[in-house]
């Protein structure tokens, strides 16, 4: 470990770090624009100059590796002058339009000009202007503001894996361009975050708010099962934008476009008051009392087994527990949180978790994807796989539909037959997995929603055991579990963890629907469940509790308006089994209420009051009965126990469950921005994958 002196302070740093990193470790702040710790080093902004003893001129600290005995000064008169000079050059062609710039108030250039720049400009010649570029519906460009740091080029090339952005021409004429094509990436919103100036700004958020007006709430995303850590910025009751927040284990510092930009859907199509379907068959606005009494009168005297409940994709654990408790008080065993009919969840925890963990992908050296398109089902997981692929060039095998995953893949086959060949060791890729030290398998949620789901689960398990994906900890290696189910909806793992599943003699989703059609089930309680053919519920009395007027609300006889994920304090468990807390950022609109309170109030009207009066009591009950919920933001390795049912598999190829990345749930379907993305990137039309497989 080299020792160096930074501003008269001796410090020992790991070999291979740069002078800039060493300075940070020593507590010296180094201004920078082009340097970004998750991107390659460009060294072109020259803002990070420091003085190195015996060097003839200041050095760019971001591009200089440390060596033994360096003596660095970051606070000398020479460095002050150097920063002044660099700043003056950067501002030569930068317009003085901070008052109308969306980056104003959170702009690196603005802040650093204040800290390190001159108070006036000596430049009297013409400034240059650059025409705007098209980068898709999410990014607004004002290219005159660009300082050519090339962070966006490096992000797109390295992290997002789409070589769409580049720097053309040179010198005075240099400009960033996309050749007028939209950036075909699910991570394009992050370009706005990496841009240190106002050249790339969020198009949906343009001219909407100033950063200092916003109330910032640290929360958790529910648009997929990754549970990205987000910051929700709200003004009054409106969520203005969603930004990523650092979590090395989950999303690093990126988030996917749906996470970031679906938030305008929170203001549209909202259910803001209860409704009851009248005698004329039309939904009429009602008061809470009327809605509750309509439910109570229909449930009166009804046998428990004639009632069913289905939990949707965006539910928090608390409301699912409250509904589960209410159903068991009503004597109903018919409940399910798997709207897509996935055949997983009854077994041990390891059978439905992403056991490797997302950060664990960075230990893998061979991957097999089965019936999954992680690019759409979990963009942050895909970004990790790509990161690992770039580090090692590891082999990635794909069974199922072959799509562009931004890294090199080997197509192995279309259906379960290939999986069987692998499990029986008859396929050459089985050898690749066996030879790997840390092989992993990612089973898509779509592959488990088939009728032969349990058999596929058993096959995958057999393959995992056979190719050494399950390794106990040794003296020099921590344990390795390479068996992964990639869930795609936020509520699923929590639902399975707290047993929102058919009880004894109970029915699962498909059974519930057919029992409704045959008249065996008369009342269905939908907790934000919209992702199935709700027309099949026409014979039943449907209670819909949720936040958007989507498929479920259409079919409902009583609508109880609930809160969306930004409007309640809720617990979510991501696909790795990581328990995280979402927080209230803005209150629900109109008469809508937090979901567990609705269930609590309804239970009182039904005369079966649930035993918790506040969120603390509910959470305590949750933790007592299901201890996994106690470990907030920790991953408990799940025990490896038998699961899956061996059996015949259907030869039909695996179909991917998502047809359009930008619209997968009631919030994103209501979002204007997501509609624009769908239009611009043609996901629905060009690459339809959901039902045509």
Partner 1 sequence: MSVLKTTTYDPPRTDGFVFSPENKAKADAYRTRYPEDRQASAVLWLLYLAQEQNGGWLSSDAIEYVAAELDMAPIRVHEVATFYTMFNLRPVGRYLVQVCRTTSCWMRGSDAITKACLEEAGTGALGEVSEDGVFSVVEVECLGACCNAPMFQVNDRDYFEDLTPESARAVMAKLRAGEEVKPGSQSGRAGSEPQEGAKTLLHLAESPAPAGDGA
| DSSP element (H, E) containing 311 | strand 307-311
Q: Considering only the stretches 6-14, 123-131, 340-348, 532-540, report the one whose residues sit in contact with partner 1 under the rule CB under 8 A.
A: 123-131
Reading the block at residue 269, the tokens are 């199509």
Closer residue to partner 1 in complex, CB, 129/648? 129
Tell me the closest approach of the beta carbon of residue 173 to partner 1, in angstroms.
6
Of the chain, the end-to-end C-alpha distance in Å amounts to: 55
Closer residue to partner 1 in complex, CB, 139/526? 139
- Is the separation of the CB atoms in 586 and 566 below 8 Å? yes
Handedness of CA 614, 498, 255, 364 (dihedral sign): positive
Site for partner 1 in 446-505 (CB under 8 A): none
Count residues binding partner 1 (CB under 8 A).
Answer: 22
Closer residue to partner 1 in complex, CB, 142/320? 142
Closer residue to partner 1 in complex, CB, 75/163? 163
Tell me the closest approach of the beta carbon of residue 146 to partner 1, in angstroms.
11
Work out whether 163 is an interface residue with partner 1 (CB under 8 A): yes
Burial of 122 (C-beta count, 10 Å sphere; 0-12/13-18/19+): exposed
What DSSP state is assigned to residue 160? I
Tell me the closest approach of the beta carbon of residue 393 to partner 1, in angstroms.
10
If DSSP codes are grouped into helix, strand and coil, which group holds residue 620? helix
Residue linked to tokens 């963009």:
379
- Is the separation of the CB atoms in 597 and 326 below 8 Å? no
Nearest in space to 266 (alpha carbons), one of 661, 548, 530:
548
Residue linked to tokens 């029992």:
515
Closer residue to partner 1 in complex, CB, 179/617? 179
Whole-number Å distance between alpha carbons of 643 and 462: 10
Burial of 649 (C-beta count, 10 Å sphere; 0-12/13-18/19+): buried
> Residue 482: which residues within 8 A CB-CB, separation 6 or more?
355, 356, 364, 438, 439, 440, 441, 464, 469, 470
Work out whether 680 is an interface residue with partner 1 (CB under 8 A): no
Closer residue to partner 1 in complex, CB, 130/658? 130
Site for partner 1 in 164-193 (CB under 8 A): 164-170, 172-173, 175, 177-180
Tell me the closest approach of the beta carbon of residue 85 to partner 1, in angstroms.
23
Closer residue to partner 1 in complex, CB, 200/335? 200
Inter-CA distances, 356 with 70, 179, 445, 489, Å:
41, 40, 16, 18
Tell me the closest approach of the beta carbon of residue 167 to partner 1, in angstroms.
6
Closer residue to partner 1 in complex, CB, 150/228? 150
Work out whether 133 is an interface residue with partner 1 (CB under 8 A): yes
Out of 77, 120, 129, 642, the only residue in the binding site for partner 1 (CB under 8 A) is 129
What DSSP state is assigned to residue 99? G
Whole-number Å distance between alpha carbons of 440 and 365: 8
Site string for partner 1, 267-306 (x = CB under 8 A): ----------------------------------------
Closer residue to partner 1 in complex, CB, 166/249? 166
Tell me the closest approach of the beta carbon of residue 163 to partner 1, in angstroms.
3
Closer residue to partner 1 in complex, CB, 162/255? 162
Site string for partner 1, 76-115 (x = CB under 8 A): ----------------------------------------
Out of 57, 126, 212, 476, the only residue in the binding site for partner 1 (CB under 8 A) is 126
Whole-number Å distance between alpha carbons of 118 and 116: 7
Tell me the closest approach of the beta carbon of residue 185 to partner 1, in angstroms.
13
Q: Considering only the stretches 121-129, 307-315, 340-348, 358-366, report the one whose residues sit in contact with partner 1 under the rule CB under 8 A.
A: 121-129
Q: Considering only the stretches 9-17, 130-138, 332-340, 358-366, report the one whose residues sit in contact with partner 1 under the rule CB under 8 A.
A: 130-138
**Residues paired with 634 in a beta bridge:** none
Tell me the closest approach of the beta carbon of residue 104 to partner 1, in angstroms.
21
Inter-CA distances, 523 with 221, 572, 599, Å:
31, 27, 16
| DSSP element (H, E) containing 542 | strand 541-546
Tell me the closest approach of the beta carbon of residue 127 to partner 1, in angstroms.
6
Reading the block at residue 661, the tokens are 């990345």
Inter-CA distances, 50 with 72, 100, 102, 296, Å:
7, 33, 31, 73
Closer residue to partner 1 in complex, CB, 170/300? 170
Closer residue to partner 1 in complex, CB, 178/534? 178
Tell me the closest approach of the beta carbon of residue 223 to partner 1, in angstroms.
29
- Is the separation of the CB atoms in 545 and 572 below 8 Å? no
Tell me the closest approach of the beta carbon of residue 99 to partner 1, in angstroms.
17
Q: What is the contact surface with partner 1 in residues (CB under 8 A)? A: 126-131, 133, 163-170, 172-173, 175, 177-180
């Amino acid at each position: 470990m080299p020792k160096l002196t930074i501003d008269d302070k001796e410090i020992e740093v790991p070999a291979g770090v740069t002078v800039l990193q060493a300075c940070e470790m020593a507590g010296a702040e180094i201004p920078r624009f082009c340097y970004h710790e998750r991107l390659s080093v460009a060294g072109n902004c020259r803002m990070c100059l420091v003085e190195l003893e015996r060097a003839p001129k200041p050095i760019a600290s971001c591009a200089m590796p440390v060596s033994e005995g360096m003596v660095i000064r970051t606070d000398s008169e020479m460095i002050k002058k150097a920063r002044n000079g660099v700043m003056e050059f950067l501002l030569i062609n930068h317009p003085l339009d901070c008052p109308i710039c969306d980056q104003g108030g959170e702009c690196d250039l603005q802040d650093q000009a204040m800290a390190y720049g001159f108070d006036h400009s000596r430049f009297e010649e013409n400034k240059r202007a650059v025409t705007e570029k098209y980068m898709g519906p999410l990014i607004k460009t004002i290219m005159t503001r660009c300082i050519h740091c090339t962070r966006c080029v490096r992000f797109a090339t390295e992290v997002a894996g789409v070589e769409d952005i580049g720097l053309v021409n040179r010198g005075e004429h240099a400009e960033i361009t996309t050749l007028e094509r939209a950036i075909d990436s699910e991570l394009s919103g992050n370009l706005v975050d990496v841009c240190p100036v106002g050249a790339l700004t969020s198009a949906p958020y343009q001219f909407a708010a100033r950063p200092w007006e916003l109330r910032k709430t640290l929360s958790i995303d529910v648009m997929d099962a990754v549970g990205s850590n987000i910051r929700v910025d709200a003004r009054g009751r409106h969520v203005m934008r969603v930004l990523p927040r650092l979590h090395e284990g989950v999303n690093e510092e990126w988030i996917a476009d749906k996470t970031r930009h679906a938030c305008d859907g929170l203001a549209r199509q909202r259910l803001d008051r209860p409704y009851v379907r009248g005698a004329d068959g039309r939904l009429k606005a009602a008061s809470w009392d009327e809605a509750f009494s309509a439910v109570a009168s229909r449930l009166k005297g009804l046998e428990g087994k004639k009632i069913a409940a289905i939990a949707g994709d965006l539910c928090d654990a608390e409301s699912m527990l409250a509904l589960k408790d209410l159903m068991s008080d009503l004597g109903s065993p018919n409940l399910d949180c798997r709207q897509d009919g996935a055949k997983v969840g009854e077994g041990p925890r390891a059978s439905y978790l992403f056991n490797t963990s997302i950060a664990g992908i960075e230990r893998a050296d061979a991957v097999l994807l089965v019936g999954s398109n992680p690019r759409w089902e979990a963009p942050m997981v895909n970004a990790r796989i790509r990161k690992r692929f770039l580090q090692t060039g590891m082999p990635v095998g794909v069974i199922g539909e072959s799509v562009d995953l931004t890294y090199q893949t080997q197509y192995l086959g279309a259906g379960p037959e290939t999986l069987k060949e692998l499990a029986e060791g008859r396929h050459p890729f089985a050898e690749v997995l066996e030879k790997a030290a840390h092989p992993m398998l990612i089973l898509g949620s779509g592959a488990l929603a088939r009728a032969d789901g349990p058999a596929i689960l058993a096959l995958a398990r057999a393959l995992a055991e056979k190719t050494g994906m399950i390794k106990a900890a040794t003296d020099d290696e921590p344990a390795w579990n390479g068996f992964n189910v990639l869930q795609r909806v936020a509520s699923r793992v929590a639902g399975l963890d707290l047993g929102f599943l058919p009880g004894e003699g109970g029915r699962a989703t498909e059974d519930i629907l057919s029992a409704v059609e045959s008249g065996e089930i008369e009342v269905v309680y939908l907790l934000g469940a919209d992702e199935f053919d709700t027309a099949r519920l026409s014979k039943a009395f449907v209670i819909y509790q949720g936040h958007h007027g989507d498929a479920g609300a259409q079919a409902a006889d009583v609508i109880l308006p609930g809160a969306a994920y930004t409007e309640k304090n809720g617990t979510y468990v991501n696909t790795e089994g990581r328990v995280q807390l979402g927080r209230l950022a803005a209150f629900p609109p109109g008469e809508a209420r937090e979901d567990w309170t609705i269930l609590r109030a309804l239970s009182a009207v039904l005369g079966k009051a649930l035993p918790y009066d506040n969120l603390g009591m509910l959470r305590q009950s949750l933790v007592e009965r299901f201890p996994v919920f106690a470990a907030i933001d920790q991953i408990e390795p799940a025990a490896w126990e038998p699961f899956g049912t061996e059996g015949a598999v259907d030869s039909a190829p695996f179909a991917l469950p998502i047809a359009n990345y930008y619209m997968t749930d009631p919030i994103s379907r209501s979002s204007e921005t997501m509609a624009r993305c769908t239009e611009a990137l043609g996901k629905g039309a060009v690459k339809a994958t959901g039902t045509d497989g």
